[in-house]
């Protein structure tokens, strides 16, 4: 497909020698091993996907939106039913085949945005990475208020920080994320964001976030993380394709502060508004601040479900940008160089798990 062709054509022209440089000892930590960033420069990296969720996770999100009656985002017409039978994110063969297909279509690495409160299974990620040969970065942290362990409301920020450090010690996580709020950030979510900011300082691990629809919390999320000491060059404020604004005012403000912004629900029929916003950001000179992914969470998006599969950002969204005027060099920067810059860090703690 055009997306694969665009990236394949770009890679030979813009070799890694022309790409970013990294400090000595920088790694990208995947569930199986640590990679030097240059080892993953032969393809695209998707910074926010889902490979291991509890069967009811997506249904819970939709139910939350309905119960909030528009306060945290537009309510969907109807939530998807809780899956019956074998859930696709528990089907090792199906998911290993999906990872193999993504690899063949130009994906060099995927980041799984789940963690324990979302039902993430590290052993499952290790199994599908081993079978497919596709490196997978596991996220760590806590998701959003409705998914938190009940005790978080009674925990202090220090106790949340200690729980995060325990995750690092016991699991091979390579990023904090997705760390979320539902537009109007709760007191507990603020505690979590501050603790995650401190955890980035303690570990150097990058952070990627979930903002609600339409993303009113984006600037406050960055404030909370930076106030705790986190470095903006290793932060992605996510889902900013949902904050539809032809002038991309908030997106530009975040870019000027040095963080990445995520267009990470892309590769779908409704991409047109996002294409216009991305092109506006490219015209404004913010190519080095953009990251793309699809936040895949439905069987219908996979190849067995009739969808384009986990490479859909590359095979569906990238061709739309190329048709709109994005250059091969810009697309290579966004799909290859930027995610490596975001993910690569010098570890302060040994691998867990």
| Residue 316 DSSP one-character state | I
Q: Is the pLDDT score of 288 beyond 90?
A: yes
Confidence of residue 78 (pLDDT cuts 50, 70, 90): low
Q: What single string gives the DSSP state of each residue in 213-232?
A: SS-TTHHHHHHHHHHTT--G
Confidence of residue 187 (pLDDT cuts 50, 70, 90): very high
| Residue 39 DSSP one-character state | G
For residue 294, the model assigns a pLDDT of: 97
- Tell me if 30 sits within 8 A of 137, measured CB to CB: yes
Q: Is the pLDDT score of 184 beyond 90?
A: no
- Tell me if 300 sits within 8 A of 275, measured CB to CB: no
Q: Is the pLDDT score of 231 beyond 60?
A: yes
CA distance 76 to 23: 45
For residue 2, the model assigns a pLDDT of: 41
For residue 59, the model assigns a pLDDT of: 77
Confidence of residue 66 (pLDDT cuts 50, 70, 90): low
- Tell me if 58 sits within 8 A of 300, measured CB to CB: no
Give the three-state DSSP class for 126: helix
Q: Is the pLDDT score of 80 beyond 80?
A: no
Residues recorded for the chain: 353
Least confident of 11-25, 46-60, 197-211, 272-286: 11-25
CA distance 210 to 197: 15
For residue 74, the model assigns a pLDDT of: 53
Domain ranges of the chain: 2-343
- Tell me if 318 sits within 8 A of 43, measured CB to CB: no
Q: Is the pLDDT score of 11 beyond 60?
A: no
For residue 61, the model assigns a pLDDT of: 74
Q: Residues 120-140, buried b or exposed e (16+ Cβ, 10 A)? A: bbbebbbbbbeebebbbbbbb
For residue 4, the model assigns a pLDDT of: 44
For domain 2-343, give the CATH number: 3.20.20.140
Confidence of residue 60 (pLDDT cuts 50, 70, 90): confident
Average pLDDT, the chain: 90
Confidence of residue 126 (pLDDT cuts 50, 70, 90): very high
CA distance 266 to 62: 19
C-beta atoms surrounding 18 within 10 Å: 10
């Amino acid at each position: 497909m055009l997306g694969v062709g665009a990236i394949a054509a770009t890679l030979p022209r813009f070799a890694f020698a022309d790409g970013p440089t990294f400090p000595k000892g920088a790694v990208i930590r995947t569930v199986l091993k640590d990679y030097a960033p240059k080892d993953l420069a032969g393809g695209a990296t998707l910074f926010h996907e889902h490979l291991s969720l509890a069967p009811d996770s997506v249904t819970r999100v939709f139910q939350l939106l309905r119960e909030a009656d528009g306060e945290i985002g537009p309510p969907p017409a109807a939530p998807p039913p809780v899956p019956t039978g074998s859930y696709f994110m528990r089907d090792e063969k199906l998911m290993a085949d999906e990872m193999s297909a993504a690899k063949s279509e130009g994906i060099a690495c995927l980041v799984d945005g789940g963690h324990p409160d979302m039902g993430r299974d590290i052993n499952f990620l290790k199994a599908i990475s081993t079978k497919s040969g596709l490196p997978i970065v596991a996220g760590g942290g806590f998701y959003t208020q409705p998914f938190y362990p009940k005790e978080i409301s009674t925990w202090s920020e220090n106790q949340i920080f200690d729980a995060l450090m325990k995750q690092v010690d016991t699991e091979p996580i390579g990023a904090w994320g997705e760390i979320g709020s539902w537009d109007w950030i709760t007191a507990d979510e603020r505690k979590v964001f501050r603790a995650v900011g401190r955890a980035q300082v303690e570990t150097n691990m990058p952070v990627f976030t979930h903002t609600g629809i339409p993303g009113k919390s984006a600037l406050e999320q960055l404030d909370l993380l930076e106030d705790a000491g986190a470095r903006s060059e290793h932060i992605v404020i996510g889902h900013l394709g949902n904050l539809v604004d032809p002038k991309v005012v908030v997106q530009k403000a975040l870019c000027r502060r040095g963080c990445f912004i995520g267009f990470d629900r892309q590769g779908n029929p409704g991409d047109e508004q996002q294409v216009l916003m991305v092109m506006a950001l490219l015209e404004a000179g913010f190519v080095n601040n953009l990251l793309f992914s699809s936040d895949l969470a439905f069987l219908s998006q996979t190849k067995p479900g009739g969808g384009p599969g986990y490479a859909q950002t590359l095979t569906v969204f990238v061709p739309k940008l190329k048709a709109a005027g994005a250059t091969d060099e810009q697309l290579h920067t966004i799909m290859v160089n930027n995610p490596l810059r975001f993910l690569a860090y010098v570890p302060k703690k040994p691998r867990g798990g």
